[in-house]
Amino acid sequence: MKLINILLISSLFCVMTGCSKMSSHHSLQNQTHDVAWFKQHQKILMQTLTQCSNNPAKYRNHPECINAQQAANDIVAGDPVPLPADMAHPKE
């Protein structure tokens, strides 16, 4: 549900700012960014998610879209909470 909100907000943001497509500097043709990079560059994350969602048939399996989606999921979910020691390694 939160991911849908992020996608809707990013789409609205792009429409309002007139970014109908990503700049050539940040297009999907360039090098692939990792999840950590996208978390630190959220404006480009939103642009990438918008481009990926506008043409899922073309970009569904593109590494840039996969990493952007994972970064968005991580942002929405927050930092993982470590399990207590007794739950991390249950007794058999």
Give residue-wise pLDDT tens across range 17-47.
444 444 444 566 668 899 999 999 999 999 9
Rounded to whole angstroms, what are the CA distances from 28 to 21, 32, 55, 59, 80? 11, 8, 12, 9, 29
Q: How far apart are CA 37 and CA 14, in angstroms?
A: 20
Query: What is the C-alpha to C-alpha distance for residues 40 and 30, in angstroms, rounded to an integer?
Result: 18
Question: For residue 17, what pLDDT is reported?
Answer: 44
Out of 7-11, 59-63, 81-85, least confident range: 7-11
Element (DSSP H or E) covering residue 56: helix 56-59
